[in-house]
Amino acid sequence: MQRRKIGFLIIALLVVLYPLVIGDSYKVYIMNRSLIHAIIAMGLVTQVGFAGQISLGHAAFYGIGAYTTSLTVLKLGFPIGLGFLAAILMCVIFSVFLSVPSFKLSGFFLSLTTIAFGHIVWVIIVNWQSLTNGPLGVFGIPGLKLFGIKFNNTHYYYLLVATIALLYLFIKRITNSFIGRAFMAMRDDELAAECSGINTRNFKLLAFGISAGFAGLAGAFYAHLSGFISPESFVFAESTKFVGMAVTGGLRHLLGGIIGAPIVTFLPELFRFPGWETYYMMAATFIILMIVVFMPDGLAPLFEKGFNKIFGERDDVKGGSSE
Amino acid sequence: MNILETKGLTKSFGGVTANSDLDINIEKGSITGLIGPNGSGKTTFINVVSGVHKATSGRVIFNGQDITNFDKHKIARAGIARTFQTIRLFERLSVLETVLVARHASFGAKIWDAVFSTPKLKMANAREEARAKELLEIVGLGKQHYHQMGNSLPYGYRRSLEIARALALEPSLLLLDEPAAGMNREEFNFLQDIILNVKQQGITILLVEHTMELVEAVVDHCVVLNYGQKLTEGPFCDCESDPRVIEAYLGKEEAEC
């Protein structure tokens, strides 16, 4: 027990000290972006990994969240907190539209529908110029403030870490409960789940709602963190990146999103050798591909194993070595 | 008193009529056998009653209530549980979890109970786990199996687990779709015990089965289907010796060899 506590403490310390040790504000900013993506990937782990409902359209919810908070704050004069709330709520409402097709569709057909949904939202953002300012995007989105202090990247970092900790607790409690069991039953065999009295429609609505709400929250963070949003941040490629993060981290592991997002974000940086600038993305993508092919369960189980090896109970090992 | 009555139940797939105008009554507390050659519409009947297929026409009356074309989960919660011809367990759920899935409605907890881990949920968890273990006991799955993956069990145990999951709905009618298919002697005997045990608890059973030995041993009443239509019904021994039934299974005897 003691060893495990020490292990958690060390990890917590690393997380807390990260921005202070790094010192480079830009790197902290990139980390913040990856944590924002981690929120989306966590939602996808819940929806895709646990409830079995694929989505390749989450950039749409990310965008809806970002635009909702920006426009309500800038045009309606909402306080930022209320803007966040509006962003989450709007995404949950839109998720209902997307989950209706999932009552009938699954697998490839559902993923096509979600791609279409993502594209429709993107086209609306680009073309509804009177509302969204079209391809030019929305400028001058105010940053967060607390007690008169404007948030810098380090403040955002701590806020994001705290938010992720809370969201982690949220999905952990849900997936470990009777609700998570219904999710997994629905994922493994929908017909058998229904014949066991599970109303799968409700659970699809719930799964889509949770992950859309997460993506909306992430979008709101992004808007206020960067101060500027434009449609190009919410294209289809982003949706696939979010799924890629969840899969790299571990689609069926609660830590999947949290581990996957920073790795997919920072891995390319490792390959930025001089003269190699054109290819660094390719190298990183190749490694991610290898992870997905050879470790379909993702990196989170590996991380967990490593943690248990270093900090886990060691009675058996001790007994063996003293012989 | 009949627990289940179908009136003119018909199910067609395109041009194929799998169930044609079936009037089948199942008496409360009995074991009814539904037999017939391959393709005679037995599984279709179970599928229509359990809501997996929508009926083309006709009605299904359960406990006096018209449940025709209800959603599957509503039929399940109303008290009709089923197993599948090819076993359908949840690939990544343990034995105990598999049974708990079907206890879902009995939790009586809401999503907020899960999020805030309320005492109400903890009580429900303990209560439902205890019940799930009782049910596993009935079908012969002990402590050592609780945390195994359902699909990693030997064949006979997987059948048992499916029955335990069905019983977890606390059904009044249990539909068994060829439970003895592919079983060895030992598993077969055990299954027979389970079925009689379930009957003793007051649960009505509809048994679709090709293994006549099992049908003969457990059923009170037999319905024979052929080409989607009811050929005959009555006690098993009568059905067994009925020339029409023999013909349906084996074909007509060559005249004058």
Contact B76 A194 (CB under 8 A): yes
Q: Does a structural domain hold residue A155?
A: yes
Which sign, positive or negative, has the C-alpha torsion B246, B249, B255, B257? negative
Chain A residues with CB-CB distance to B109 below 8 A: 177-178
The length of chain B is 257
Chain B residues with CB-CB distance to A173 below 8 A: 114-117
CA distance A302 to A300: 5
Using an 8 Å Cβ cutoff, are A166 and A42 in contact?
Answer: no
CA distance B46 to B41: 9
Instruction: Indicate the SS3 state at residue B35.
Output: strand
Tell me the per-residue pLDDT of B69-114, one tens digit each, with 9 for 90 and over: 999 999 999 999 999 999 999 999 999 999 999 999 888 888 899 9
Which sign, positive or negative, has the C-alpha torsion A251, A238, A96, A72? positive
Q: What's the pLDDT at A320?
A: 34
Interface membership of A168 toward B (CB under 8 Å)? no
Contact A196 B93 (CB under 8 A): no
What residues 29-68 of chain B have any CB closer than 8 A to a CB of chain A?
Answer: 50-52
Interface membership of A202 toward B (CB under 8 Å)? no
Q: What's the pLDDT at A253?
A: 93
Q: Which two tokens stand for residue B63?
A: 């406990």
DSSP track, A101-157:
HHTT--HHHHHHHHHHHHHHHHHHHHH-HHHH-GGG-B--PPPPEETTEEP-HHHHH
For B116, the closest chain A residue by CA position comes to A173
Instruction: Indicate the SS3 state at residue A216.
Output: helix
In chain B, domain spans = 27-55+69-79+171-257, 93-168
CATH C-level class of B27-55+69-79+171-257: alpha beta
- Mean pLDDT, consecutive 10-residue stretches, chain A (323 aa), reads 83 87 86 95 95 93 96 92 95 93 88 94 94 90 84 91 96 94 95 95 95 97 94 92 92 93 86 75 83 87 87 51 30
Name residue, tokens 């060691």: A314
Q: Could you tell me which residues are beta bridge partners of residue A145?
A: A150
Tell me the per-residue pLDDT of B13-23, one tens digit each, with 9 for 90 and over: 988 899 999 99
Q: What's the pLDDT at A317?
A: 41
Which candidate, A123, A156, A298, A307, places its Cα nearest to that of A227? A156
Q: Does a structural domain hold residue A204?
A: yes
Which sign, positive or negative, has the C-alpha torsion B41, B45, B47, B51? positive
ipTM: 0.92
For chain B, the distance separating the N- and C-terminal CA atoms, rounded to the nearest angstrom, is: 49
Q: What's the pLDDT at A107?
A: 83
Which residues form the domain of A185?
31-235
User: What's the structural domain count of chain A?
Assistant: 1
Q: What's the pLDDT at A279?
A: 76
For B128, the closest chain A residue by CA position comes to A178
β-pairing verdict for B31-35 and B221-226: parallel
CA distance B248 to chain A (A): 32
Q: Which two tokens stand for residue A81?
A: 């907190």
Q: What's the pLDDT at A318?
A: 38
Chain A residues with CB-CB distance to B125 below 8 A: 178
For A185, the closest chain B residue by CA position comes to B90
Chain A residues with CB-CB distance to B100 below 8 A: 178, 181
Q: Is the pLDDT of residue B257 over 60?
A: no
Tell me the per-residue pLDDT of B193-208, one tens digit each, with 9 for 90 and over: 999 999 999 999 999 9
Mean of pLDDT values over B50-75: 94
| Average pLDDT value over all residues in chain B | 92
Contact A178 B124 (CB under 8 A): yes
